[in-house]
């Protein structure tokens, strides 16, 4: 299978700061929307607090050596804004930057290129209190934060993700409230799309001014399927595709927002020059892919015109029918994106992986279901490349079992099992499988 991946193809694995670091009050860290959200009664499935999680803030070297042991080209991790600017503005907290600087050095020493994400969902509470992503000013504050980080790390870090999954922030953070900050504004959440894209574009300018050569954003993409082959379900699927995928990808890749008025939605809060800044602001386009989404038309009079329903006839992950498994959906999505955007920049799969019910104890986990999932999706990537899609890198979510947001510790995604009581890390069968995939690919291309 890996023979089909081209020479130079890169392998990566990912974590995010809030999900692995713990140490939520260490070294003057400020509060973020996730600290606030997890305190809401009932917000987190198992009532857990993301502390100590994997204790990675205190022991980053444990993660670095696992990343190096896989033979990864790059390791995707994230930096917490509320550590660097506890109040979301003002000077940097030098101790926090020292920490991330040590992580960068440890990765470089281990021969793994650091690929940090500046924002993986934990907006400083102080920024949310000022309106969060509903406010245009948040884009400027994000660019200031990016400047502080690049000032310190930019001599060694040349490759960055700005934002992780703005689609989830809009849809689940501000529209439905399933994730922090837990607002339920339905289509009132739409301005957060534009402000996040603007934040990305402004930060990209800042990072390039510090000499970075490779700046991108990574969004969640889904492949939308109508439940029935009827005009109504096709229209519902089209609307969902716009809201989840295209409202983000098209201004970044194609020169403007899709026709929102045709869906009865308001225009974006744009000012002159915004679209020019956003268009072409990515050196690469990051895609996180987990599952397809099947959609049917909503009952008349519902505030949202589509309903998300289980995808018929496919297996599911630990989340049940919410996360159906369909690797070919990743291939189809990539091929479709290239068809819509013939000048597509290099694509990175920034996350792909699955949780399955697994024993909650230290010891070897034989996760054949995860290996199947990952192998299927890697094949789908190879097929998309064969059809001309410029995918350059694949990233497994996640290097480690970690704190899965509103699902707490109930969903394990790691190549490595983590005992959340002791911090002990034990590679699963999937870790060995991925290490071998990477080694075999290198051996084949060097022949």
List the catalytic residues.
165, 351
Instruction: Report the sign of the C-alpha dihedral through residues 219, 148, 398, 31, in that order.
Output: negative
Q: How far apart are CA 378 and CA 395, in angstroms?
A: 10
Closest CB to ligand FCB among residues 161, 257: 161
Q: How far apart are CA 307 and CA 303, in angstroms?
A: 11
Among 405, 409, 431, 433, the residue binding ligand FCB under the rule CB under 6 A is 405
Among 170, 220, 291, 352, the residue binding ligand FCB under the rule CB under 6 A is 220
Min separation Cβ 338 and ligand FCB, Å: 23
Binding of residue 260 to ligand FCB (CB under 6 A):
no
Binding mask 406-425 for ligand FCB (x = CB under 6 A): -------x------------
Among 147, 165, 358, 369, the residue binding ligand FCB under the rule CB under 6 A is 165
Min separation Cβ 373 and ligand FCB, Å: 12
Min separation Cβ 168 and ligand FCB, Å: 5
**How many of the other CB atoms lie within 10 Å of CB of 209?**
11
Place of tokens 């894209």: 197
**How many of the other CB atoms lie within 10 Å of CB of 38?**
22
Min separation Cβ 78 and ligand FCB, Å: 9
Among 103, 242, 404, 434, the residue binding ligand FCB under the rule CB under 6 A is 404
Beta strands in 177-239 (DSSP E): 214-220, 224-226
Closest CB to ligand FCB among residues 2, 170: 170
Q: Which region, judged by CB under 6 A, interacts with ligand FCB, from 56-64, 147-155, 160-168, 234-242?
A: 160-168
Among 2, 162, 164, 294, the residue binding ligand FCB under the rule CB under 6 A is 164
Contact 397, 20 (CB under 8 A): no
Tell me: cis bond preceding 52? Omega within 30 of 0 counts: yes
Q: List binders of ligand FCB among 102-131 (CB under 6 A).
A: none
Binding mask 348-367 for ligand FCB (x = CB under 6 A): ---x----------------
Q: How far apart are CA 57 and CA 70, in angstroms?
A: 21
DSSP reduced 3-state for 174: helix
Min separation Cβ 327 and ligand FCB, Å: 16
Instruction: Report the sign of the C-alpha dihedral through residues 255, 258, 260, 262, in that order.
Output: positive
How many residues bind ligand FCB (CB under 6 A)? The answer is 12
HSE of 339, CA atoms in CB hemisphere, 13 A: 8
Min separation Cβ 224 and ligand FCB, Å: 17
Among 2, 12, 16, 138, the residue binding ligand FCB under the rule CB under 6 A is 16
DSSP reduced 3-state for 441: helix
Q: How far apart are CA 335 and CA 347, in angstroms?
A: 12
Q: List binders of ligand FCB among 26-45 (CB under 6 A).
A: none
- In sequence order, what are the residues at sequence separation of 6 or more whose Cβ sits closer than 8 angstroms to the Cβ of residue 431? 66, 69, 70, 415, 416
HSE of 247, CA atoms in CB hemisphere, 13 A: 30
Q: List binders of ligand FCB among 261-290 (CB under 6 A).
A: 288
What does the binding site for ligand FCB look like in residue numbers (CB under 6 A)? 16, 19, 164-165, 168, 220, 288, 351, 397, 404-405, 413
């Amino acid at each position: 299978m890996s023979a089909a991946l081209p020479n130079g193809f890169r392998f990566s694995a990912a974590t995010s700061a809030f999900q692995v670091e713990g140490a939520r009050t260490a070294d003057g860290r400020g509060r973020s929307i996730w600290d606030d959200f997890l305190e809401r009664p009932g917000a987190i499935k198992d009532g857990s607090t993301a502390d100590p999680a994997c204790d990675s803030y205190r022991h980053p070297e444990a993660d670095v050596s696992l990343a190096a042991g896989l033979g990864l080209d790059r390791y995707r991790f994230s930096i917490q804004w509320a550590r660097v600017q506890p109040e979301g503005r003002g000077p940097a907290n030098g101790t926090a930057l020292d920490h991330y600087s040590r992580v960068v050095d440890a990765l470089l020493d281990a021969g793994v290129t650091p690929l940090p994400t500046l924002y993986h969902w934990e907006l400083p509470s102080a920024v949310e209190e000022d309106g969060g992503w509903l406010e245009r000013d948040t884009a400027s504050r994000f660019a200031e934060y990016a400047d502080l980080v690049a000032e310190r790390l930019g001599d060694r870090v040349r490759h960055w993700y700005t934002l992780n999954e703005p689609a989830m922030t809009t849809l689940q953070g501000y529209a439905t409230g399933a994730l922090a900050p837990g607002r339920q504004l339905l289509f009132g959440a739409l301005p957060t799309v534009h402000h996040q894209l603007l934040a990305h574009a402004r930060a990209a300018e800042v990072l390039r001014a510090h000499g970075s050569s490779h700046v991108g954003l990574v969004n969640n993409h889904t492949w939308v399927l109508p439940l029935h082959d009827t005009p109504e379900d096709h229209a519902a699927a089209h609307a969902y595709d716009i809201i989840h995928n295209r409202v983000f990808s098209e201004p970044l890749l194609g020169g403007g927002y899709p026709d929102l008025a045709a869906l009865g939605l308001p225009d974006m809060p744009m000012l002159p020059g915004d679209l020019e800044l956003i268009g072409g602001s990515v050196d690469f386009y990051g895609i996180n892919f987990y599952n397809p989404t099947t959609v049917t038309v909503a009952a008349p009079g519902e505030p949202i015109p589509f309903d998300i329903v289980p995808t018929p006839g496919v297996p599911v992950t630990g989340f049940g029918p919410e996360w159906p498994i369909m690797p070919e959906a990743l291939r189809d999505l990539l091929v479709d994106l290239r068809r819509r955007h013939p000048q597509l920049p290099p694509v990175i799969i920034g996350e792909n992986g699955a949780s399955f019910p697994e024993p909650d104890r230290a010891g070897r986990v034989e996760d054949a279901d995860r290996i199947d999932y990952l192998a299927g999706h890697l094949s789908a990537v190879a097929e998309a490349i064969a059809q001309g899609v410029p995918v350059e890198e694949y990233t497994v979510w996640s290097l480690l079992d970690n704190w899965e947001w509103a699902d707490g510790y109930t969903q394990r995604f790691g190549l490595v099992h983590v005992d959340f009581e002791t911090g002990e890390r034990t590679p699963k069968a999937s870790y060995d499988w991925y290490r071998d995939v990477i080694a075999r690919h290198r051996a084949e291309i060097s022949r």
